[in-house]
Structure 1
Amino acid sequence: MFFEDFYPGQTAQFGAYLVTEAEIKEFAGKYDPQFFHLDNEAAKHSLFGGLCASGWHTASMFMRMLIDNLPEEHGSLGSPGINNLRWLHPVYPGYILNVKSTVSECRLTESKPGVGLVCMNYQVLNQDGLIVMSLESKAFFKSKNI
């Protein structure tokens, strides 16, 4: 996908990421060692009512699905950042996550010839359609016309 392949209002849905207890604990042990991500029994008495993934783990699973969705030949050049990252609901073992994307804006950059900026709104949903995370992102893409 290149800059010209995007247009405002365009939507896509992709991914099927199975969240496992082992991966939740492995990620938390390395990066977010809070009891509700590591200890099944203690997590039952938390605000979440059970073991759940770190929000940062959820963001990482989103990123994996996003990259896996790119075709082999693509013009992705990275991102200057994200806005409005929200963890809306806990992510529990056994969830199957997917992503819905909506393009909100496309424009060529003035400072980087041959590069376009694509603004996207993302929702990460579980298998029941519950939105567990949302964010806005901007990404640079090569233009086909250069």
Structure 2
Amino acid sequence: MRHFEHFRVGSTYELGTSRLTSEDIIGYARVWDPMPFHLDPGAAARSSFGGLVASGWHTGAVVMGQFVRSLLADSTCQGSYGMDEVRFLRPVRPGDELHGRAVVEEAAPHPRRPETGTVHFLVEASNQHGETVYRMRTRLLFGRTRSSAPVRQEADAHH
């Protein structure tokens, strides 16, 4: 189980690789981002992309799945403060393999909740050619190990 203390600034975590198919791209787009260049290979061929491309949100969802399965599911993660940056840097096409990685950019004890700490991650994905296709910066809240969290004093019951 990973706690706040496990995430040292500069640590890099490999998140795995996921391959996207035309069926994956079209299926996601049908439900969540029904733009023609995500749904219809003919319309996509006539678009500025010149072919079918994944929604940036699909790419982000795939990478988030890698992040959770590889790093967060076995941790004391208590949620996110949100994303500070999301960038769709290059089109993702059928057959592309997305390789995710996360780097700890900052880590600090929470200023008001001593049993927790915040970790700032840079999460990126590159394709099989080594080109970065996606970038996200996010802040997550993690529980601290009992040995490092300050002990809270119980209020005296006999006022």
Q: What TM-score do the two structures reach when normalised by structure 1?
A: 0.94
Aligned ranges 1:98-137 → 2 under 5 Å? 98-137=99-138
Gaps of 5+ in 2: 150-159
Which amino acid is the alignment partner of residue 82 of structure 1?
A: M
1:22-43 deviation digits (Å, cap 9, x = unpaired): 1111110111101000010110
Q: What TM-score do the two structures reach when normalised by structure 2?
A: 0.87
Q: How far has the Cα of 1:127 moved from its partner?
A: 1.2
Change (3 A) 1:127 1:37: same
Identity, in percent, stands at 34
Which amino acid is the alignment partner of residue 70 of structure 1?
A: L
Separation of aligned partners in 1, 2:108 and 2:74: 21
Q: Which structure: larger Rg?
A: 2
Which amino acid is the alignment partner of residue 29 of structure 1?
A: R
Give the match's secondary structure for 2:79.
Answer: coil
Q: Does 1:143 align with 2:150?
A: no
Separation of aligned partners in 1, 2:100 and 2:108: 23
RMSD: 1.3
Q: How far has the Cα of 1:14 moved from its partner?
A: 2.0
Give the match's secondary structure for 1:56.
Answer: helix
Answer with 93-102 or 34-43: which moved more.
93-102
Which amino acid is the alignment partner of residue 144 of structure 1?
A: T
Gaps of 5+ in 1: none
